[in-house]
Amino acid sequence: MRLAVLFAACGLAFAQSQDPAYEPLSRAYEALRAKDYDAAVAGFLRGLEAAPGRASIHKDLAYTYLKIGENILARRHFEAAMNADPADAQVAMEYAFLCYETKEQAQARRIFDRIRKTGNPVAEQAFQNIDRPLARGIERWQQAIAMGSHTFSSHFELAGLAEQRDELELAAEHYEKAWRLLPDRRSVLVDLGRVWKALHRVESANAALLAASRGGEPRAAEMARALLPDRYPYVSEFRSALAFDPNCVELRRELAYLLLKMEQPAEAEVEFLAITRIAPEDLLSATQLGFLLYGRGERTAAMPYFERVLAGDDDELANRVRAVLRMPQVLKSRPDSRDPPSNDAKLMAERSIKAGYLKDALKYLQIAHEADPGDFQVMLRLGWTYNLLHQDQTAFQWFNLARKSPDTQIASEADHAWRGLRQDLRQFRTTVWLYPIFSTRWHDVFSYAQAKMEMRTDLPLVPYASVRFVGDTRVTMNSYSPAYLSESSVIVAAGVRSVPWHRVSFWVEGGWAISYVTGHVLPDYRGGVSTTRGVGHTITAESGGWFADTAVDGLFVSRFGNDFLFYDQSRVGYTAGPKGLRTQFYWNVNLTMDVRSQDWAKFGETGPGIRFHHSSMPPSMFFTVNALRGMYLLHNANARPAFNDFRAGVWYAFSY
- Using pLDDT thresholds of 50, 70 and 90, give the confidence band for residue 334: very low
pLDDT at 174 (0 to 100):
92
CATH of 428-655, one of 2.20.25, 2.60.40, 2.40.128, 1.10.357: 2.40.128
Give CA separation, 325 vs 117, 303, 450, in Å: 76, 10, 88
Give whichever of 6-10, 299-303, 339-343 has the largest mean pLDDT: 299-303
pLDDT at 309 (0 to 100):
87
- Using pLDDT thresholds of 50, 70 and 90, give the confidence band for residue 502: confident
Give the torsion sign (CA, 228, 234, 240, 243): positive
Count of CB atoms within 10 A of residue 96's CB?
28
Q: What is the pLDDT of residues 404-454, one digit of tens each?
A: 888 888 888 888 888 777 766 666 778 898 999 999 988 888 888 999 988
Give the separation between CA 194 and CA 163, rounded to whole angstroms: 10
CATH code of the domain made up of 2-103: 1.25.40.10
Answer whether 2-103 and 428-655 agree in fold.
no
- Strand spans (E) along 483-580: 489-498, 504-515, 521-536, 545-557, 563-576
Give CA separation, 121 vs 17, 98, 100, 469, 587, in Å: 43, 18, 17, 52, 30
Give CA separation, 273 vs 214, 263, 267, 302, in Å: 19, 17, 10, 11
pTM equals 0.45
Give the separation between CA 353 and CA 379, rounded to whole angstroms: 15
Count of CB atoms within 10 A of residue 12's CB?
16
Give the separation between CA 582 and CA 615, rounded to whole angstroms: 8
Q: Which of 260-274, 442-456, 627-641 has the lowest mean pLDDT?
A: 627-641
Give the separation between CA 218 and CA 233, rounded to whole angstroms: 19
Q: Contact at 8 Å (CB) between 392 and 376?
A: no
Q: What is the pLDDT of residues 245-264, one digit of tens each?
A: 888 888 888 888 888 888 88
Q: Mapping DSSP to helix (H, G, I), strand (E, B) and coil, where does residue 313 land? A: coil
Give the separation between CA 54 and CA 193, rounded to whole angstroms: 34
Alpha helices in 182-248 (DSSP H): 187-198, 202-213, 218-227, 235-244
- Cα–Cα nearest to 36, from 506, 371, 424, 406: 424
CATH superfamily assigned to domain 341-425: Tetratricopeptide repeat domain (1.25.40.10)
Could you tell me how many residues make up the chain? 656
User: What DSSP designation does 51 have?
Assistant: S
Give the separation between CA 367 and CA 348, rounded to whole angstroms: 10
Q: Mapping DSSP to helix (H, G, I), strand (E, B) and coil, where does residue 495 land? A: strand
pLDDT at 425 (0 to 100):
64
Q: Residue 527, class by beta-carbon neighbours within 10 Å (0-12 exposed, 13-18 middle, 19+ buried)?
A: buried
pLDDT at 626 (0 to 100):
96
Amino acid identity for residue 90 in this structure: Q
Q: Domain ranges for the chain, please list them.
A: 2-103, 341-425, 428-655
Give the separation between CA 41 and CA 38, rounded to whole angstroms: 5
Q: Contact at 8 Å (CB) between 38 and 420?
A: yes
Q: What is the pLDDT of residues 155-204, one digit of tens each?
A: 999 998 998 898 999 999 999 999 888 888 888 889 999 999 999 999 88
Mean pLDDT of the chain: 83
Q: Contact at 8 Å (CB) between 196 and 205?
A: yes
- Using pLDDT thresholds of 50, 70 and 90, give the confidence band for residue 590: very high
pLDDT at 378 (0 to 100):
87
Name the more confident of 5 and 248: 248
Element (H, E) at 160: helix 152-164
